[in-house]
């Protein structure tokens, strides 16, 4: 069968946007997402914001920038917000899009290609493979590389960017994964679970415009320390999961 005949050109991408106090950037982020030339389902999960994000989202639903909005009445963390989005996603592929403008949605069509051509079950957008990026914190870079190395040692993968937000995963696969992390441990957990399913993972370079703490960056050194624990937890203690979740991805 020729390669072009094996493509799935009409894939629909479910974009999950976890938002906590992102009133300053959420509308800009959603408009950028809607500019992408893909079939999209946009799901925003408001994680009990207190800065007016909820009210802005209700207005954006009326403007049809959002297909579904979910409100957490209590702040539960990024991982919990993502899981709420995954539960209602109806597209063929799921990706998380932060609302802080650090990631460019125009990278999404290229990231979708390996899944569209049925060569991959998941695609990671790597900030460390040569894409343009804003120069920021050295120790964030070092911390990410150390965490990526440790994760790779357990998963036997050769990823370059464990903590990237852009992880595109087939919806039928991600819905089977037994995910439980509530905070930033989600990145470690989903990588461990994908490795345990023997999923075919690709990496593609992306651009990155990181923000400073003054601009609203939320992850701290405490999350980095917690990630060390999560690497051990999610790789050494494997849950039973739903039936068939550890079967090879197809």
178: pLDDT strictly greater than 50: yes
- Residue 236 falls within a domain, yes or no? no
1: pLDDT strictly greater than 60: no
Which pLDDT value is given to residue 145? Answer: 87
- Residue 141 falls within a domain, yes or no? no
**What mean pLDDT is predicted for residues 158-178?**
96
- Residue 114 falls within a domain, yes or no? yes
**What mean pLDDT is predicted for residues 146-165?**
95
What count of Cα atoms within 13 Å lies in the side-chain half-sphere of residue 15?
A: 29
**What mean pLDDT is predicted for residues 159-176?**
96
More confident residue, 87 or 183: 87
Number of neighbours of residue 246 by Cβ within 10 angstroms: 17
- Residue 234 falls within a domain, yes or no? no
- Residue 82 falls within a domain, yes or no? yes
219: pLDDT strictly greater than 50: yes
Range of the domain at 105: 3-135+163-175+193-212
Which pLDDT value is given to residue 139? Answer: 65
CATH of the domain at 90: 3.90.550.10
Which pLDDT value is given to residue 117? Answer: 97
């Amino acid at each position: 069968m020729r390669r072009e005949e094996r493509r799935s050109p009409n894939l629909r991408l479910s974009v999950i946007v976890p938002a906590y106090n992102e009133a300053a950037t959420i509308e800009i982020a959603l408009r950028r997402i809607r500019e992408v030339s893909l079939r999209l389902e946009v799901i925003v999960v408001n994680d009990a914001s207190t800065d007016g994000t909820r009210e802005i989202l209700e207005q954006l639903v009326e403007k049809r920038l959002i297909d579904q909005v979910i409100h957490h009445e209590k702040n539960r963390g990024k991982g919990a917000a993502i899981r709420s989005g995954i539960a209602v996603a109806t597209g063929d592929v799921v990706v998380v899009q932060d609302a802080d403008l650090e990631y460019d949605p125009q990278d999404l069509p290229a990231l979708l290609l390996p899944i569209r051509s049925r060569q991959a079950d998941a695609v990671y957008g790597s900030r460390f493979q040569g894409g343009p990026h804003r120069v920021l914190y050295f120790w964030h870079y070092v911390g990410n590389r150390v965490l990526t190395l440790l994760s790779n040692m357990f998963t036997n993968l050769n990823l370059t960017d464990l903590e990237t937000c852009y992880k595109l995963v087939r919806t039928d696969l991600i819905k089977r994964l037994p995910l439980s992390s509530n905070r930033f441990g989600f990145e470690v957990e989903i990588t461990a679970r994908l490795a345990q399913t023997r999923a075919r993972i690709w990496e593609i370079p992306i651009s990155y415009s990181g923000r400073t703490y003054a601009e609203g960056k939320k992850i701290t050194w405490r999350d980095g320390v917690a990630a060390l624990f999560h690497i051990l937890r999610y790789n050494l203690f494997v849950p039973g999961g739903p039936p068939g979740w550890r079967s090879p991805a197809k």
